[in-house]
Structure 1
Amino acid sequence: MKTVLYARVSTKDQTAAHQLTQAQGAGFAIDEVVSDEGVSGVTTRLADRPQGRRLFDILREGDTLLVRWVDRLGRDYEDVSDNIRHFMRRGVVVRTIINGMVFDGATQDPMQRAVRDALIGFMAALSQAQAEATKEARRAGIAYAKANDTDGAKFKGRKPSYSRQQLEQVQAMLSAGISVTEISRAISVSRQSVIRIRTDPASSVAALERWGL
C-alpha cells in the first residue's frame, strides 16, 4: 500500500514541490508524487492529462490518492465526482490536504454511503463553482487593471503580499467554510490579505496582474 500525491499546477508560481511540502506539513508520508504542470484544470479532464492518466494505471486497492483539494481531480462537477467514485470502487482511498476530507468505499452501510455520496457531490459542485468564480475574478481583475492604466503607465500600487497560488488557495478554503484565522495560519498569508481577497477578489487579482505575478 502506498500514498500517491497528485499535484496539478497550471501557473508559473505553482510548483509540485510546494504541494509536497504542504502535504508533509499536514503529516502525510508520501511514497510517490505524480505531477501535471502547465495543465488547465478547468478545460482538461483528469484522464486526458499526461500524468493524470497514470493514476488510473498505478493505483491499486489499499492505496491512498492525496490531493490538495478535490478540484485537482477533474475539470468540472461530473469529472471530479466520476473520478472519485471510480477510485473508490477500486479500493483506493481519496484524501485532501485542505480540510482533511476522506473518501473511501469501505463502508457497506446504506445510510453512510448515502451521506458519503452526497458529500462527494457537494464537494465536486463546490469545486466547479470556485473554478468559475476564479475565472470571473481573473477577467474582472484584468479589466480593472486595464481601466486604471493611464497612457500606458501603470500605477502599480503596493506589491501584493500573496502569490497567485496563495490567492487560489484562499478562495478555495473560503468556499470550504474555513475561517479567516485558520486560512492565514495554514498558508502564511496575513488576515488582512485574506479578508481583502474575500471582500474584493477582482481587485486582488488586478493587483497581481499589475505586478505581473
Structure 2
Amino acid sequence: MKFKKQTLFSLAIAASVLASCSSKQTENTESNAALDNIMTRTSIRAYTADSISKENIETMLRAAMAAPSAGNKQPWRFVVIENRATLDSIGANFGSMKMASQAPLGIVVCGDLEATFPEEGRDYWIEDTSAAMENLLLAAHSIGLGAVWCGIYPMPDRVQAFSEMLSLPENIIPMGVAIIGHPQSAQEPKDKWNPEYVHYESWKKSGAKGF
C-alpha cells in the first residue's frame, strides 16, 4: 500500500511538471505567433473584389482601441468607409491612395482634440492614434486581410479634404486612413532590421554589439 501511494504521488508530480511545461510551451507558441504577425506584416496595395465582414471590421476596431494612449485618454475616433463612391473619390483625388479605388474598405483614424491633454500635451493625440493605427494594421494581417496606412495629417490639403468629405467637426482631426481588402497575392515582408539605427545610453557611434 505504501509503495502504491508513493507511485501515485510520483505520477501526480510528473503530471504537474508536464502540465507546467505544456503551459510554458503554449505561452511561447502564442508569443512567437504575435511576433510572427508583426514581422510578416507588410503594406498591401492590391485587393480582390471580395467584401469584408462586419465581424472582421469590428475585430480590427477592437484591436485599434486596445492601443496605449497618454493618460489613457483614448482620443481615437474612427470613420468606417464602405461606400463605393467615397472610396473611388479618395483613390481619384490622392495619387498615393489610388488603391482605394479597388478596395472594399477604408478606415479613417482620427484624433479628438477635446479628448486629449490641453496645451503642451495636446499633440499626444498623434502618438495615440498612430498606435491605434498600427494595432489595426496588425489585426488586419492576422485575419488574412491586407492593408496600407496612408497619411493625412499634417498635410493641410488632405486634412481639409477628408474633413469636408466626412463632415468632421472642428475638434476631430483625420490622422490617416487604412485602405483594406483581401490581398490579390501574397507579398514577402521586408527585413528592416538595421543595427546602425540603434544607439546605447547616448547618441554615439551606432552598432548593436551582440545582435
Q: Structure 1 length normalisation: TM-score?
A: 0.25
Which structure has the larger Rg? 2
